Structure 1
């Protein structure tokens, strides 16, 4: 199927919220990693989200070009083409765009969608994330509102964040963030709802102790009740229909029971990057170690082209990444729930 349209994407998110499941949102940096994600979603009969970060877009554009927006456009165009070969719905999203990168990343991507819509073509991306969590709340909301106004005109969903996700990701380090900043308050969630609900549809990455990076299970101290209390405050103020589409960032090292608890509080999207990076690399390492003598020209030998052909080890990497995403579908209970299979 083609990449989901606006109505289909909204239906995906509504079904997840009502059904107590979430979609894995997989960060990709290449056509290879995007293909691994597409295969996994299709295998699990799960709709899903493929996303590109600023760093991922920059990498995809090549080491000489280093154009984050152009690289993101390239990956998105690839997904638009390949998604038609799979019988699940795929949404395209961009991850953490900090204030200093809005003009170089998000705005060019919105402009690309505006150009496409003017020609009667579908949106390039279904949603974008603006991460203004480093700003004072009032400033974060003001900029989020401005961006949402433009997104809403083009049937784009905006993801926003208040509070700070700890740890390090994509070159942004929040490891020294004060503890109180790691938790979004109910009052903040009400403020956000009051400002943004009249403007357009948005997803909300509220923070509840989650952190980016690599941690052993049990090392991350989550407080899922933060989401429960925040949602309750929003519903009390604006009614049941105002309950947020929530997003879970920094899930590595989280206990599965805690992940499942968040699904009951409105989490519909969970970002997965660190674990899939490892899974992809593990496939490469396994191939290299098992075929060392074939990969290299040792002691005057010539190696074995069928092993050092990049396609050989990239296939291995895609398999291990696909398997990890399939696990994510099962963990988030999205398997077998594609709109196209219901």
Structure 2
């Protein structure tokens, strides 16, 4: 899963990236077109407990690839063209919004106003999407003229959808707010519209405001949360500093600074998984205990394909145990003895926290 960190210059994107990746990163941007990247593991206490229960030699966490884009400039009517290709591949956008005061780091708009900055960057994304929609609309109209009236059905339907998008974007409404059907989303999937992607606004707050994190988030959510969009607040500089410390020292510093008990990395990464509509299931064994992600509603046979294509191809049935039952039992055998194991077929919809063992034959 690819997560794009975006925001205006001097918003603290790179500082947040260091907080998420515990400082193990390459150097900062060296040119206006450079994007820094880091692969981070999604903390998962349930996975840790499952691995401990079977004394697993290896524990495999979900991984996210974070892409830290250079700061946007307001008023250019869209992201720099050279960045659009990479940005459009992201599964989710994290907008880092400056909410901290630091005289030595001037804000490009000369004042701190998170609401203004959220609206300004959204408008830049809207401009980019509007250009895509206008080009596609023109192409559809050209293609339609070369077809007989009876053969224009699919193009007419897409044209109606593109016109609906154009009307919304011109009214400065993001695509994610339109409540598109699954069929409409599939039709648009190849265009990678930026405002159609899930969005997480991260308010980068002062260390002194960290004890008020929940209060700040609640106020911001009233204004900016919506379909496929949410808000959290993080004191990125303090979190980056604490992320460098050993676990026991980090916990003490978190208490002293008034930081939330849950680390920024865990909070943000789990929020992105939720916004993407993903659930986590597990394969548990002494060699490797592994977390896997699939979209909610995924049938067992497709979930098996996440593990290996041969397992999907040769799927027979799945042995399923709820992770809470597994942890109480301590092993597959004991869970089965207690009657906690179920046998499920191809169409079973995998649930959050399932421990799955797939029986297959190829």
- Bigger helix share: 1
- Bigger strand share: 2
Structure index of larger Rg: 2
